[in-house]
Amino acid sequence: MGRTKDSQELVVGPAAEGVPNVLAVLLHDRLVSRQTARAVASRWAATVPTTAFLIPACCDRVGRGSLPGTAVPLAAVLDAEARRLTPLIVRYLHAYRLDPSRLVLIGCGLGGTLALHLGLRRGLVEAGVLAFAATLTNALWPAGVTTGKVRIITCADEQEVARPRLGAFMDELISRGVDVRGVAMDLTSERKAILRLGGAYLAELVATAHRGADARRARW
């Protein structure tokens, strides 16, 4: 694990030192500390040991009045963060000699919404997106063909509220040909249970990344 000169952090799986097979980008907002994000990445790195986790500084402007309820629309925040982060992600892919089929995006809160935005609207990722507690809005509908998988875990005080919203969002993605699954969990669920489910989804996406890259090499 280390901090880069760009104030990003890397958590590298035990079998990925220097040569990771998959890059997972973990996006968090002000509600999740860098320390918590690092701890989660370290836990998951043990289960997907050939994966490097990049934890960039992102969504930091949210705490300074850029969320809905202010004059700045959420879509504008997502676009601005996407423009800033995309070159960074591409740079790390190139550094590790990985193509987009080896990229997984993970996010929590606004970071989860941003991960969906990058995957669905920007088409940045081919393996998949894992989003926790994201804002599910029609502004995230795919702009074109999306090949990556989407896995969503919603968290709310009342599952009766979260479940219909998640269901409608998933139905729309399915109608657009997206491979999507999701679970609505309430805030009383144990953190370990949520992380365990997220870890299972992550393992699936990492396996998809491996298969996608192998298929691409076979075509070459």
pLDDT digits (tens, 9 = 90+) for 120-158: 988 888 899 999 989 898 888 777 667 789 999 987 655
Burial grade of 180 (CB within 10 A; 0-12, 13-18, 19 or more): buried
The average confidence (pLDDT) of the chain is: 81
Q: Which residues of the chain, if any, have pLDDT below 70?
A: 1-7, 16-18, 59-72, 144-145, 156-163, 187-189, 212-220
194 touches 153 (CB < 8 A): yes
User: How is domain 2-219 classified at the CATH fold level?
Assistant: Rossmann fold (3.40.50)
Closest by CA to 13, choosing from 54, 47, 56, 55, is: 47
User: CA 50 to CA 219: how far, in whole Å?
Assistant: 23
pTM of the shown model: 0.86
